[in-house]
């Protein structure tokens, strides 16, 4: 189901946003009260959007932006590091130029949907006999064990961990994403290129 909230993520208060951390990490919402603890399933797909600043005009050249540097920092600062560490894909979107509007049309929705369905089926087949059915559910320890002997595939992830640009939680999410990239391409295992692509989609920076 789709529940649009109609506002950019930084428009919400920090306390509201931080409540997303537990369900994103564990797939359940835990509420503690004096009379006991209640647990509710909360596995969902979260899509967040954020302008580059409160007025929304700081993209591209940003010549029309009226926000002060402090206002920008406060605005984006509501999206904390621990919260963003639980968001698998972080993609920057640039303003659409006139030339882009005249470019080639993208793939039809039906074509993309068929490719996604095939990728989901490939993941389901690979995970047969396990408690999981999709890549997002697989523990990072399990994925790391699968790739332990393929050190060259893990090289970019190891470099990012050593440089401190990626947390261990982030590394696990990169590996899950790399398997999805491979599934979408029809490969049975991720290549070093798939891991690099996953790292770029995760951090917005090339390896």
Q: Tens digit of pLDDT for each residue in 140-178? A: 888 888 887 777 888 888 898 999 888 999 999 999 999
Contacts 24+ apart (CB under 8 A), 3-11: 8/49, 8/50, 8/51, 9/48, 9/49, 9/50, 9/78, 9/79, 10/50, 10/51, 10/75, 10/76, 10/78, 10/79
Q: How confident is the model at residue 93 (pLDDT cuts 50, 70, 90)?
A: confident
Which pLDDT belongs to residue 79?
92
Q: How confident is the model at residue 68 (pLDDT cuts 50, 70, 90)?
A: very high
Cβ–Cβ under 8 Å, residues 75 and 187? no
Which pLDDT belongs to residue 4?
56
CA–CA separation, 132 vs 127, rounded Å?
6
Q: Which among 84, 6, 96, 11 is positioned nearest to 54, based on CA atoms? A: 11
Task: Tell me which of 109 and 61 has the higher pLDDT.
Answer: 109
Task: Tell me which of 9 and 152 has the higher pLDDT.
Answer: 9
Q: Which of 38-47, 176-185, 198-207 has the lowest mean pLDDT?
A: 198-207
> Tens digits of per-residue pLDDT, 100-138?
777 677 889 999 999 999 999 999 999 999 999 999 999
- Judged against a pLDDT cut of 70, whether residue 2 lies above it is answered with no
């Amino acid at each position: 189901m789709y529940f649009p909230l109609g506002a950019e993520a930084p428009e919400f208060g920090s306390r509201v946003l931080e409540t997303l951390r537990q369900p994103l990490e564990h797939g359940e919402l835990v509420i503690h009260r004096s009379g006991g603890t209640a647990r509710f399933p909360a596995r969902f797909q979260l899509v967040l959007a954020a302008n580059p600043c409160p007025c929304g005009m700081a993209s591209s050249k940003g010549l029309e932006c009226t926000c002060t540097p402090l206002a920008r920092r406060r605005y984006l600062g509501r999206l904390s590091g621990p919260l963003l560490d639980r968001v698998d894909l972080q993609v920057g979107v640039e303003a659409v130029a006139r030339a882009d509007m005249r470019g080639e049309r993208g793939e039809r929705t039906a074509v993309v949907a068929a490719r996604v369905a095939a990728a989901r089926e490939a993941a389901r087949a690979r995970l047969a006999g396990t408690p999981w059915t999709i890549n997002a559910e697989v523990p990072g320890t399990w994925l790391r064990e699968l790739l332990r002997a393929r050190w060259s595939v893990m090289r970019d992830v190891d470099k990012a961990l050593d440089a401190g640009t990626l947390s261990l939680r982030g590394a696990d999410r990169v590996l899950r994403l790399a398997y999805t990239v491979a599934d979408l391409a029809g490969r049975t295992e991720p290549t070093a290129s798939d891991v690099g692509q996953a790292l770029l989609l995760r951090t917005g920076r090339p390896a």
